[in-house]
A and B are shown apart, each in its own frame.
Chain A
Amino acid sequence: MRILVLAALLLVATSCRSGQPDDRRIVVTFSGSALGAEGELLARHVARFEQANPGIHVRIQRTPDDATQRHQLFVQWLNARAGEPDILQLDVVWTPEFAAAGWLLALDRWKPDRGDFFPSTIAANTWAGSQFAVPWFMDVGMLYWRTDLMRAAPATMDELAANARRARSGGVPYGIVWQSARYEGLVTSFLEFLGAFGGRIVADDGRVVVDSPEGIRALAFMRDLITSGAAPTDILTWHEEESRFAFQNGAAAMMRNWPYAVTLLKQPKDSRVAGKFAVAPMPGAAGGAPTATLGGSALAINAFTAHPDAAWKVVEFLTAPEQMLDRSRLSGYPPRPALYDDPRLAEILPIPITLARSIVERAVPRPATPIYSQLSELLQIDLHRALSGQVPPDRALHDAARAMNALVERTRIRELVAGRGTRDAR
């Protein structure tokens, strides 16, 4: 009996505490990656923010780290016009989609400092002339190469192919590896080869032009790497981690991957290539330029939020130089050019800062269109067909372009871009 009374008292006590949050603070919900080291860092930043802004409480809502799952969740919530979460951590390719749907607040009213960010990161988060998200950190594709197997990083795609073949004849199982399973990673890898040869996926007028001669050359080059044995057929089932394992075990001479692998490959305990590798920009080829696919995250504000100003304060704080610098400890690079002159960043980054800057400056966003994910899915299928030898590269890209352009027409995207701003479109 006494226990019951005690329990009842406890219940009352706790419900009082949660029911009447010791103050009348505004509660803003942040939704994004909040696991492990990322979660700890975020919690630290949030605590710092709350200290500086006593009127606002930030609730962290964990969502799956898997991009596809998070995307599905966000779409379902926003489609139902849920006011929470107030702040969304968006993958860099989602911003136009969500903005065109009318699910994000245009940030113009707070006059964000666009000039302080790399232009590529702003372009990726802009739709119909308005900025809808603030870049938080950037990921860029780059080339990992073995310093014990070659004297210098390849400067051209031809050198890359030659180095890969030479390494193979020298007994290394794989010359070069990248991400080639049928998923978004395939498009990010392809974009770097495409840029190297001077091709584009979508032209300025919104038409898909991936089947240009440059595009066909790029895909044929990738296919040749596989058929000549410079790259293993296995990569057709590989994502980031499978490539890293191969490189880490010393089985590959070169690898295309994101920056996260550097720290892991440097651990002598797990890595056979610790101290024997370096990174470089992906090389260019005739007619194009070295290209790094832009990845990373941006912070946006839910259009249905009850507290837009408080939410903006949080976004502004999390993307301020100090916090951004701090976040570079995890992985990814800060999107503010000014930070690259800060000696503290040089200390934090695991690769030379000038190199980091040279790669980051070559970052190219994937097409900033609301139907990017659907376009990408169509492209993935035909890229995979070509790379697995089911159809020749030119036919694959023609098929892809036809299907993608049909989607562009059906969804009337070009009218939407050419026409009015997103507000009127709703």
Chain B
Amino acid sequence: MILKAPRPAPPAARPAMRPDRSEARAGWLLTAPALATILFIALFPLGWTLWESLHEHDLRMPWLGRPFVGVGNYVTILQDARFWQSLGHTALFTVISVAVELTLGLALALAMNQAFRGRGVVRAAVLVPWAIPTVVAALLWRFIFDSQAGIANVVLSNVGLLQHPLVWFVRASTAWVPVILADVWKTTPFVALLLLAGLQSIDQELYEAASTDGASAWWQLTRITIPLLKPAILVALIFRTLDAFRVFDLIYVMTGGGPGTSTEPVALYTFNALLQNLEFGYGAALSVIIFIVTFGLAMLYMRGLGVDLGDSRGGGGPRR
């Protein structure tokens, strides 16, 4: 968008006015501060991280110096079982939580799109979980699933689903339950609102025409709503996938990656390497890998869903 700025208005009534060079230069000059800012806050740190990742640099071991090791860190990472496990955990978390959030979010959006009394209040209220800071939400859910004082055990035992109170966070299989529930609870509203915006941009006449032709509600949903909602779904999917892939605070607070490292996502592993162990080179290499994967995921979505974000009006989400 920025690059378009210096271009003059489309040739209109007065064709004599050709864009001359000084005008283009002024345009560049005017956008220079913005370009420099982007360069400084986005590209420079990225480049620096990339450079750092090519060194062995451990803040706690100055006697090793900071030797250039080329792709050494990347080779170590690719041979590191803990890295692959954490990647697997991240994928598991992303797929399950995003799938559930999208399904629930769509249902919620369809419900909120109906005309009913108090719709405004409901729409606002739905956003409350999204507005709560993640760390607070995580603490809340950890407490709900506490083995001693948590309400989850009490409710499940009363219903008869549990014989003994369960210690949720000591087994990998059960530790994921509160984590994913917390994420679903917190971000479904966001998905729902994105989809709601998409729903509202669909022309009502289509439904009227379909009804006149005797189309069932299911037919309308699958043939009209969902295809036309595709741009909005894509935006929600991209946002949620990228967010879920970088999940950190929720798991840091709830399980700390345990038991063992069986709920540790890539971001937490990177945090451990970078900030806990101060292995700057190795941690930087991990960061670069996360960057590449998330970037690749975003590309894949755009291709796979065959939607050009730039032209979609329905999405309503911010463009990046």
Contacts and interface: CB of A to CB of B under 8 A. Distances in A.
A381 B256 CA distance: 11
B260 A411 contact: no
Given A384-B259, A390-B259, A237 B169 contact: yes
Contacts of A76: 59
Given A68-B276, A377-B277, A370 B60 contact: yes
B167 A234 contact: yes
Contact of A234 (B148, B256, B277): B148
A237 B62 contact: no
Given A236-B167, A381-B261, A384-B258, A411 B276 contact: no
A66 to B, nearest CB: 12
B170 A233 contact: yes
B294 interface: no
A234 B165 CA distance: 11
A23 B64 CA distance: 44
B172 interface: yes
Contacts of B63: 100-102, 412, 416, 425-426
Nearest to A416: B63
A183 B257 CA distance: 11
Tell me if B's interface is mostly helix, strand, loop or mixed.
loop
B59 A79 contact: yes
Nearest to A383: B260
B147 interface: yes
A72 B275 contact: yes
B60 A236 contact: no
**Chain B contact residues (Cβ within 8 angstroms of A): what range?**
20 to 34
Interface in A113-135: none
A182 interface: yes
A156 interface: no
Interface string B230-273: 00000000000000000000000000111111100000000010
B170 A381 contact: no
Contacts of A425: 63
Contact of A181 (B60, B172, B258, B262): B258
Interface residues of A, number: 33
A426 B276 CA distance: 23
Nearest to B256: A182
B167 A233 contact: yes
Find the residue from B259, B272, B276 having the highest chain A CB count within 10 A. Answer: B259
Tell me if A's interface is mostly helix, strand, loop or mixed.
helix
Contacts of A373: 60, 277
Contacts of A377: 272, 276-277
A370 B277 CA distance: 12
Contact of A102 (B58, B62, B170): B62
Interface string B133-162: 000000000000001100000000000000
A374 B262 CA distance: 19
A182 B258 contact: yes
A237 B60 contact: no
B171 interface: yes
A31 B61 CA distance: 22
B278 interface: yes
Interface in A328-365: none
Given A181-B258, A390-B259, A101 B61 contact: yes
Given A234-B148, A236-B167, A236-B170, A101 B260 contact: no
Given A234-B170, A384-B260, A411-B61, 18 more contacts: A75-B60, A97-B60, A101-B62, A102-B62, A182-B258, A182-B259, A183-B256, A232-B167, A233-B167, A237-B170, A373-B60, A374-B277, A384-B258, A385-B259, A388-B259, A390-B259, A416-B63, A426-B63
24 contacts: A72-B275, A72-B276, A100-B61, A101-B63, A102-B62, A181-B256, A182-B256, A232-B167, A234-B148, A236-B167, A236-B170, A237-B258, A370-B60, A377-B272, A377-B276, A381-B260, A381-B261, A384-B260, A385-B259, A388-B171, A390-B259, A390-B260, A412-B63, A412-B64
Pairs of residues from A and B, 6 with the lowest C-beta to C-beta distance, nearest first: A385-B260, A388-B259, A236-B170, A182-B258, A425-B63, A233-B167
